[in-house]
């Protein structure tokens, strides 16, 4: 099928199944056509936003060696500056839900992106750790509502089946941001420098914010927005406590905090410095290697869905992914100073196998009762981003401490992979007792 046919097929399906609205406001076929076009346009804007968000998450991995050399930073400082993005991302998930209910995702997401524009500009001119952290913090604040806001809008426009399809398209497309943050970012850094690159990114973010505000609508045409139940921040936090009490959910949280964060920390933070310090891979070549890892992660994400459907259960797939990831990380710790012909296949396999987090999140959402789905999904996303923040900040301390203790170029990274592998083992052991969704009542 041609690309045009694929796009048309998606648009036709989404249009046919769009959430029922007041069809008397528009004539039958005209209504379907208008909704199909609007959903496609909005989804395109959401994809661009998601790709840009993922790009910022992963960008430090490529430019870290240049930043460390120019600003005389150690690994701990780089880990702190990178983790700041995820700290604010995690902390804002509950307040953002309240803002969505009161003002709508379109206004909230577009307004928040202004902080990302400021943060990218601040990051570009920063010459101290404090300003770098502040820049990353503001970028994270700006993008904190993008993905969740997009999902809220799609849920209002589409029926459950097509909401799932559109969510899959959005999630799979977002991973292109990790790919763009490898070779393309390396090329841009070589051409104009990392500072000028972030100035350009600030401009791009401003354009994306304007596009989201202009193209996205909170409600389908012909449907009057019903007043959402106004819930205070305190009530929302109490609602999150209800989610935590869902039987079996606590056992899944450690692996949710570690699964995605381990891969994004490898690709988006320590992959670049590891290649530079241990294998002396610089510039565009380093970006090319990281792009291979990003492609492996995307391929794994796309592969795990069919695997889970074929197996017909969540637990065996997640346990296999957790054990496999732990084994590969421990092997990386053992062979960290081996040749690139050994470490690169191990890294590629780690990124592919580590994509099991997509099934893990599905398991978590499936455990949550329908009346808690909204806040439950937000809570799980907060755990995922919070785990990434802790890992990125903590990993910098590990890399620096082990390097100071042993002294070899590979020692700090070997320590990082060893700690990561052991944590993955522990989190997988905790997960073993998690029930399948249809077994919750027995727990």
Q: What is the pLDDT of residues 205-214, one digit of tens each?
A: 999 999 999 9
* pLDDT (0 to 100) of residue 9: 41
In a domain, 75, yes or no: yes
Is residue 184 within 8 Å of residue 290, measured between CB atoms? no
Is 204 within the bounds of a domain? yes
Q: If you count them, how many residues does the chain have?
A: 443
Q: What is the pLDDT of residue 73?
A: 86
Give the whole-angstrom CA distance, residue 150 versus residue 218. 9
Among residues 105, 398, 424, the alpha carbon closest in space to that of 262 is found at 424
Residue 109 covered by a domain: yes
Q: Does the structure show a pLDDT above 90 at 47?
A: yes
- Within 92-182, where are the H helices? 93-103, 105-125, 129-143, 146-157, 160-174, 176-180
Q: Please report whether residue 292 resides in a domain.
A: yes
* 26 has a pLDDT exceeding 70: no
Q: What is the CATH number of the domain that holds 293?
A: 1.20.1250.20
- Whether residue 154 is contained in a domain is answered as yes
The average confidence (pLDDT) of the chain is 84
Q: What is the pLDDT of residue 252?
A: 93
In a domain, 252, yes or no: yes
**243 with 379: CB under 8 angstroms?**
yes
**Residue owning tokens 């076929």:** 29
pLDDT at 15 over 50: no
**pLDDT at residue 370 in the model:** 66
Query: Is a pLDDT exceeding 70 seen at residue 237?
Result: no
| Number of domains into which the chain is organized | 1
Listed range (68-77, 195-204, 224-233, 421-430) with the worst mean pLDDT: 224-233
**Rounded to an integer, what distance in angstroms lies between the CA atom of residue 245 and that of residue 241?**
7
pLDDT value for 171: 80
245 against 188, higher pLDDT: 188
- Position with higher pLDDT, 222 vs 350: 350
Position 312 in a domain = yes
Under the banding of pLDDT at 50, 70 and 90, the label for residue 221 is: low
Domain span at residue 313 reads 3-219+229-442
Residue whose C-alpha is closest to residue 427's, from 344, 329, 332, 346: 329
The pLDDT tens digits for 372-394 are: 766 677 788 888 888 998 998 99
Task: Indicate whether 168 pLDDT > 80.
Answer: no
Q: Classify residue 224: in a domain, yes or no.
A: no
pLDDT digits (tens, 9 = 90+) for 104-162: 889 999 999 999 999 999 999 999 989 999 999 999 999 998 988 888 888 778 775 67
Tokens of 86: 């995820």
């Amino acid at each position: 099928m041609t690309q045009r046919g694929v796009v048309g097929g998606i648009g036709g399906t989404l249009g046919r199944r769009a959430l029922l609205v007041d069809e008397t406001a528009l004539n039958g076929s005209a209504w379907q056509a208008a909704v199909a076009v609007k959903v496609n346009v909005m989804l395109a804007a959401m994809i661009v936003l998601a790709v840009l968000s993922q790009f910022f998450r992963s960008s430090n991995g490529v430019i870290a060696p240049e930043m460390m050399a120019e600003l005389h930073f150690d690994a701990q400082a780089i880990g702190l500056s990178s983790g700041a993005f995820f700290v604010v991302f995690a902390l804002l998930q509950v307040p953002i839900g309240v803002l969505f209910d009161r003002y709508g995702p379109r206004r909230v997401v577009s307004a928040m992106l202004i902080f990302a524009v400021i943060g990218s500009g601040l990051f570009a001119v920063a010459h101290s750790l404090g300003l770098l952290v502040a820049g990353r913090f503001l970028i994270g604040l700006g993008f904190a509502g993008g993905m969740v806001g997009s999902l809220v809008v799609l849920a209002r426009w589409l029926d459950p089946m097509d909401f799932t399809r559109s969510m899959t398209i959005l999630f799979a497309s977002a991973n292109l941001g990790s790919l763009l943050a490898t070779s393309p970012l390396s090329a841009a850094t070589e051409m104009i420098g990392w500072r000028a690159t972030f100035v350009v990114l600030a401009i791009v973010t401003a354009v994306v914010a304007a596009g989201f505000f202009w193209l996205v609508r909170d409600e389908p045409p012909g449907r009057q927005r019903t007043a959402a139940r106004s819930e205070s921040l305190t009530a929302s936090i109490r609602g999150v406590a209800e989610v935590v009490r869902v039987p079996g959910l606590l056992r899944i949280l450690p692996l949710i905090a570690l699964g995605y964060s381990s891969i994004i920390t490898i690709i988006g933070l320590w992959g670049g410095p590891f290649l530079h310090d241990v294998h002396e891979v610089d510039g565009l070549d380093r970006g090319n290697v990281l792009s291979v890892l990003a492609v492996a992660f995307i391929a794994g994400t796309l592969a795990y869905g069919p695997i889970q459907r074929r197996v017909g259960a969540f637990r065996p797939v997640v346990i296999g992914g957790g054990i496999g990831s732990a084994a590969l990380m421990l092997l990386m710790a053992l062979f960290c100073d081996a040749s690139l012909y050994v470490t690169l296949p191990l890294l590629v396999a780690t990124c592919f196998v580590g994509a099991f987090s997509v099934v893990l999140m599905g398991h978590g959402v499936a455990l949550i009762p329908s009346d808690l789905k909204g806040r439950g999904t937000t809570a799980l996303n907060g755990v995922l981003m919070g785990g990434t923040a802790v890992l990125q900040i903590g990993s910098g301390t590990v890399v620096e401490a082990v390097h100071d203790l042993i002294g070899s170029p590979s020692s700090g990274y070997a320590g990082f992979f060893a700690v990561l592998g052991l944590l993955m083992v522990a989190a997988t052991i905790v997960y073993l007792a998690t029930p399948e969704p249809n077994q919750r009542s027995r727990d």
